[in-house]
Each structure stands twice: as structure tokens, then as C-alpha cells.
Homo-oligomer: A and B are copies of this chain.
């Protein structure tokens, strides 16, 4: 499990707290979700950097104050840069409204500057 958590950390920059809770309290659930994470975050047709940007945008579109900060927190350490996310958030503005942009922008101003 430790190894899988490290691998996830490399893919997404920062393992969410819930995953650590699962690893401690409910190893079976942790195993399921880690397997799913593996299928989702590894480099493939898209780089993990691009995937991270998408995750931030989706969280912002859903006005998910928790998820948008959790995603933004790991972005810098895997090499995503601020301007890329800022541009991606403009697309989110068009599709989900100006406040969606603001949610994302607030999170990256906090974690990526």
C-alpha cells in the first residue's frame, strides 16, 4: 500500500487526506480506489500535467471548494504552471460561468503563486 501511495503522490502531486484515512481505517476501500487512481492518473495519451489541469477545471465548474483546493495543492510539484491553469479556467468560465473561474483562480492564487 505504501508503495502505491507513493506512486499516486508522484502522479498527482499530493495524496488527498481521504486516501490516507482509507489506508489506515479501511485498507480494502483504499485498495479499490488506488487501483482506480492508477487507471486514471498515469501518463498515457495525456500527460499527468494535463490531467491535473482538467481536474482543477472540473472541480471549479462544480463549485467544489474542497476539491478545487485539493487538486491545486499538488499541481506545482508535478510541474504544472500557473499560466496554464489560468487559461484553462477561462474555458471553464465560458462553459460554467464566471464564478467557476473565480473558484479556480482563488485556489491557484493560494497554492501556485
Contacts and interface: CB of A to CB of B under 8 A. Distances in A.
B102 A66 contact: yes
Copies of this polypeptide in the complex: 6
22 contacts: A16-B102, A18-B105, A28-B39, A37-B94, A40-B93, A45-B81, A46-B84, A46-B88, A54-B57, A54-B91, A55-B91, A55-B95, A58-B61, A58-B96, A62-B63, A62-B96, A63-B65, A66-B106, A67-B98, A67-B102, A95-B99, A97-B100
Nearest to A43: B87
A58 B97 CA distance: 11
Contacts of A35: 31-32, 35-36
Given A32-B35, A35-B32, A59 B95 contact: yes
